[in-house]
Amino acid sequence: ETGVTQTPRHLVMGMTNKKSLKCEQHLGHNAMYWYKQSAKKPLELMFVYSLEERVENNSVPSRFSPECPNSSHLFLHLHTLQPEDSALYLCASSQGYYNEQFFGPGTRLTVL
């Protein structure tokens, strides 16, 4: 079990649904990240939060909305997704920007 947990582990949703992914880190880190991992594509950075402020938004569509209420929790709110958004969504955390990132187990998302 890693120091970064994610819920749910699996999610199936229709294109008109609204759902949220949750990430929690127990490592005392101050930076958190959302990544998308699609089949046969490299991991893609979506968002970076440092000290609860968003410092990076990698041209992600507005149907993905992140929220970081404190340094231990990170959410990804989803609405009106498309089937091509089906992927593994990974959360990570690090102490400072320049140190190694530790990943959670991911949420496998399927959009019907």
Residues that bind another protein (CB under 8 A): 2, 4, 31, 40-45, 48, 50, 55-56, 58, 88, 90, 97-106
- As measured in angstroms, the least distance from the Cβ of 70 to another protein is 18
Please say which residue, 58 or 82, places its beta carbon nearer to another protein: 58
Helix (H) or strand (E) holding 40: none
Cα–Cα distance, 101 to 64 (Å, whole number): 22
Please say which residue, 65 or 105, places its beta carbon nearer to another protein: 105
Least Cα distance to 64 among 8, 109, 4 occurs for 109
Please say which residue, 11 or 48, places its beta carbon nearer to another protein: 48
- As measured in angstroms, the least distance from the Cβ of 43 to another protein is 4
Check: CB of residue 10 under 8 Å from CB of residue 108. yes
Least Cα distance to 27 among 82, 100, 112, 81 occurs for 100
Q: Which amino acid is at 87?
A: A
Please say which residue, 46 or 81, places its beta carbon nearer to another protein: 46
- As measured in angstroms, the least distance from the Cβ of 87 to another protein is 12
